[in-house]
Structure 1
Amino acid sequence: MAGLGSRLQSLGYDVAIAANVAYAPLITAAGCEHRELPGDMSHLVSPAAPGKRPTGADLRRYMDELGDYMDLAATGTLAAAESGAEVILANAIAPYAYDVAEALEIPAIGAHLQPTEPSAAYPPVVLGTARSLGPAGNKLLGSLVSAGKAPYDAPSARIRKALGLGKKSRAAADRLRRKDNSPVLHGISPTIFPRPADWRSGLSLAGYWWPEAEPGWQPPAELLEFLAEGPPPVFIGFGSSAALDADFMLDTVRRSGVRAVLQGVEGVSGSGVIGVGAVPHQWLFPRMAAVVHHAGAGTAAAGLRAGAPTVSVPIYTDQPFWAARITSLGAGPQPVPYKELTTERLAAAITQATATPAYAARARHLAAVLASEDGTAPVVAALRAAGKQG
């Protein structure tokens, strides 16, 4: 979103992004205004140990914590919009943004990084599975999930009441937006995810919204030295989920016999291994022989953009969906589900990814196609249309 915001700023739009305080430097570096959302999402994205399934108690605790976070986010969204807005771009887990827009009498446009519309083409991504139930089953289950309870239902109802709006459930509001064919932009490449035939016309694939290059950023000297010392290494990192500890990564590297860059475990070093902190993926990934990650929407896109074969270790929500897309496109081997993860299985997948030339060739082809796509133009068109309607 910060990358998209930067491009919109360059076209004359004033862009403010509502996000947790941890993202303020990223937002302001992109030239956008940061409006703070209270709360901290980081503790909600740390899974159980590799190879372990969450218990019922784990899931109940997670849903309670997620509900508390959403309540804070709804309050922050209202405050952010009241600071001044003429249109709101709302992500997939912020339905209360539509309630705020309704009260302020301004347009709201969906801006999603995952396909959430019920469809025959895929099972609902919120369930954390890529297993198809067939066209009829996918569509039915997607519709049931969309109409079911969600952790942002209570915050949406509270915001509507606080704003003096009439009662309307989140599910009912979703149905009304579908009936009205309200626009939803998806920051997804149609090359990676072809548009489903049963989508309504208001749903569009804009193309990826790439992050901006950090101005003045320079790679650490130790990392440059490491890259120059031998053949391209393998990247292993799990972003904000902090899914794997250093010992697990090091054992995996030893078993696979590759050089490796380990993100999130700074200070770790050894023969053929270096640990790093935050390094821009658009700089690092093109220098890798393969990338190993959780297949989140942004990281999966970054790996494809870099033309690097991908080993996916999906954990939850939309990650199995993106992992399956990468495999189906021929850009990497079969995913290694986190709940079945061992160092032996991950090492075997890394060996397969780096020793199969077809994966690298296919990844390079996809990267060339992605380089020709422009994800900003459809957003500008939608903003202009919203301005004319307003």
Structure 2
Amino acid sequence: MRVLLSTYGSRGDVEPLVGLVVQLQDLGTEVRVCAPPDEDFAQRLAGVGVSMVPVGQSARALTTAAPSSADLPRRAAELIAAQFEAVTAAAEGCDGLVATGVMPAAAGALSVAEKLGIPSVSVTFQQLTLPSPHRPPLAYPGRSFPPDVTDNRTLWELDAQSIDALFGEALDTNRASIGLPPVSHVRDYVFGDRPWLATDPILDPWRGTSDLDVVQTGAWIPPDDRPLPADLVAFLDAGTPPVYVGFGSMPMGVAKDAARVAIEAIRAQGRRALVGRGWADLALIDDLADCFAVGEVNQQALFTRVAAVVHHGGAGTTTTATRAGAPQVVVPQVVDQPYWAGRVAAMGIGAAHDGPVPTFESLSAALTAALTPQTRARAAAVAGTIRTDGAAVAATLLLGTIERPTDRS
């Protein structure tokens, strides 16, 4: 059996697929992956024996460029066209398709599966895009909701209209080019009636609705047995556990002094600092021995050896830190990150920073809360409740879906 996994987004959209790849391979399934042409994505997938099929432009370049809201429809049209081209070729001979990543990319991939007549599953790595009467939707840039509208169901109707306005024309144009009819609503087409939610049910509990039969598999945590670099191990062994600070795939354009602020706030706590460079290219501010900078690294192993993790609140980083039992300070930047910050604070496993730009005072206050013995004890207790079988559950469900296909709509 052969399966195609298709995504477009940041590292947080690619890393979970690594976990699913490994589980599918263990079940004797051949796997292909379509993802942005970033070298670190290709290397990560190559590490589990998958040659990545590149689609679209570099995700890092697109994130750094931060296109304006007015440019979003054009960017989406380009991405949908790229999906149609790359996924059509990659899906040849495949028995099923998993679509995730940003909305227009998923819509394009699912359209290809529809044309080829192969079963498909739509997956999200955070629940905030799934319609729910229990909370409002996220607003797209430049398309804020009317301030006088507070009913959640009405807001979700407006959300569907925004998505159609942004992506509908480009999607239907590309669908027409391969003989497919237009879709009524892009969002409904992407999710269907039974979308998958690949998050941990303790960290991210889904409240059921009558509209969607959501399948929550648990987070897709990839196995990672890569040893920590020798120089990093030497730094860790040389003193007390440091505080890690890193912002993953976030460019941090609005917080250019993030590394300086973080290091000074960490030092003020009497702690050593470990700086993850990430897409923000964070760097040390001096050559003192109490600080160390690291690039790509096994965070699953690293986070068990730190005093706390200061991060942007991506779903993957939040889950990894929670599973490691490390207290967290979440400095949310965009999209779903304020949600994860709120979950960390509500569960008592860390602190939510107020806003995306840390200052010495604000970060110091958050660190003080996160570094208490009570927070560490709570973080350790919650760590043992996080499921580790999400990718295995998803792999088994996926193969069952392929063998017994159902109508997504």
TM-score range, shorter chain: 0.7 to 0.9
Out of 136, 147, 152, which is 1:138 matched to?
A: 152
Aligned positions of 1:239-318 closer than 5 A: 239-243=248-252, 245=256, 246-264=259-277, 265=282, 269-318=287-336
Aligned positions of 1:35-46 closer than 5 A: 35-46=53-64
Amino acid at match of 1:342: T
Out of 371, 380, 393, which is 1:364 matched to?
A: 380
1:157 aligns with 2:172: yes
Aligned-pair RMSD on alpha carbons? 2.8
Q: In 2, Cα distance between the equivalents of 1:386 and 1:47?
A: 39
Q: Name the counterpart of 2:6.
A: none
How far apart are residue 63 of structure 1 and its match?
A: 2.9
Q: Structure 1 residues 318 and 80, CA, compared in 2 at 3 Å: closer, same or farther?
A: farther
Contact conserved, 2:23 with 2:395, CA < 8 A, in 1?
no
Q: Name the counterpart of 1:351.
A: 368
Secondary structure of 1:317's partner?
A: coil
How far apart are residue 374 of structure 1 and its match?
A: 3.9
How far apart are residue 358 of structure 1 and its match?
A: 2.1
Q: Name the counterpart of 1:236.
A: 245
Amino acid at match of 2:377: A
Q: In 1, Cα distance between the equivalents of 2:211 and 2:53?
A: 33
| TM-score normalised over the length of structure 1 | 0.85
Aligned positions of 1:97-246 closer than 5 A: 97-115=109-127, 116-125=129-138, 137-149=151-163, 151-171=166-186, 174=188, 178=192, 181=193, 183-198=194-209, 200=211, 202-213=213-224, 217-243=226-252, 245=256, 246=259
Unpaired runs of 5+ in structure 1? 49-57
Secondary structure of 2:163's partner?
A: coil
Q: In 2, Cα distance between the equivalents of 1:63 and 1:209?
A: 29
Contact conserved, 1:44 with 1:66, CA < 8 A, in 2?
no
Q: In 2, Cα distance between the equivalents of 1:239 and 1:308?
A: 17
Contact conserved, 2:98 with 2:120, CA < 8 A, in 1?
yes
Q: In 1, Cα distance between the equivalents of 2:122 and 2:79?
A: 18
Contact conserved, 1:266 with 1:275, CA < 8 A, in 2?
yes
Q: Structure 1 residues 382 and 319, CA, compared in 2 at 3 Å: closer, same or farther?
A: same
Contact conserved, 1:77 with 1:97, CA < 8 A, in 2?
no
Secondary structure of 2:121's partner?
A: strand
Contact conserved, 1:20 with 1:40, CA < 8 A, in 2?
yes
How far apart are residue 187 of structure 1 and its match?
A: 1.0
Q: Structure 1 residues 68 and 114, CA, compared in 2 at 3 Å: closer, same or farther?
A: same
Contact conserved, 1:123 with 1:138, CA < 8 A, in 2?
yes
Secondary structure of 2:385's partner?
A: helix
Secondary structure of 1:18's partner?
A: strand
Secondary structure of 2:384's partner?
A: helix
Unpaired runs of 5+ in structure 2? 1-16, 142-146
Q: In 1, Cα distance between the equivalents of 2:311 and 2:65?
A: 14
| TM-score normalised over the length of structure 2 | 0.81
Amino acid at match of 1:191: I
Q: In 2, Cα distance between the equivalents of 1:259 and 1:272?
A: 5
1:377 aligns with 2:393: yes
Secondary structure of 1:314's partner?
A: coil
1:28 aligns with 2:43: no
Secondary structure of 1:389's partner?
A: coil
TM-superposition CA deviations, 1:11-62 (whole Å, max 9, x none): 11111110122211111212234111130111333499xxxxxxxxx74366
Amino acid at match of 2:400: R
Q: Structure 1 residues 127 and 68, CA, compared in 2 at 3 Å: closer, same or farther?
A: closer
Structure 1 stretch displaced more, 104-113 or 83-92:
83-92
Secondary structure of 2:383's partner?
A: helix
Q: In 2, Cα distance between the equivalents of 1:335 and 1:267?
A: 22
Q: In 2, Cα distance between the equivalents of 1:145 and 1:189?
A: 26
Contact conserved, 1:110 with 1:185, CA < 8 A, in 2?
yes
How far apart are residue 80 of structure 1 and its match?
A: 4.3
Q: In 2, Cα distance between the equivalents of 1:222 and 1:175?
A: 49
Secondary structure of 2:196's partner?
A: strand
Structure 1 stretch displaced more, 185-194 or 265-274:
265-274
Structure 1 stretch displaced more, 60-69 or 277-286:
60-69
Contact conserved, 1:37 with 1:72, CA < 8 A, in 2?
no
Q: Structure 1 residues 176 and 89, CA, compared in 2 at 3 Å: closer, same or farther?
A: closer
Contact conserved, 2:221 with 2:388, CA < 8 A, in 1?
no
Contact conserved, 1:39 with 1:69, CA < 8 A, in 2?
no
How far apart are residue 383 of structure 1 and its match?
A: 2.8
User: How many correspondences in the alignment?
Assistant: 368
Q: In 2, Cα distance between the equivalents of 1:24 and 1:63?
A: 26
Contact conserved, 1:233 with 1:290, CA < 8 A, in 2?
yes
Secondary structure of 1:327's partner?
A: helix
How far apart are residue 235 of structure 1 and its match?
A: 0.6
Q: In 2, Cα distance between the equivalents of 1:364 and 1:304?
A: 8
Amino acid at match of 1:241: M
Contact conserved, 1:113 with 1:187, CA < 8 A, in 2?
yes
How far apart are residue 315 of structure 1 and its match?
A: 0.7
Q: In 1, Cα distance between the equivalents of 2:191 and 2:339?
A: 25
Contact conserved, 2:195 with 2:212, CA < 8 A, in 1?
no
Structure 1 stretch displaced more, 190-199 or 76-85:
76-85
Q: Structure 1 residues 92 and 275, CA, compared in 2 at 3 Å: closer, same or farther?
A: closer
Q: Structure 1 residues 158 and 223, CA, compared in 2 at 3 Å: closer, same or farther?
A: same
Aligned positions of 1:319-334 closer than 5 A: 319-334=337-352
Amino acid at match of 2:204: F
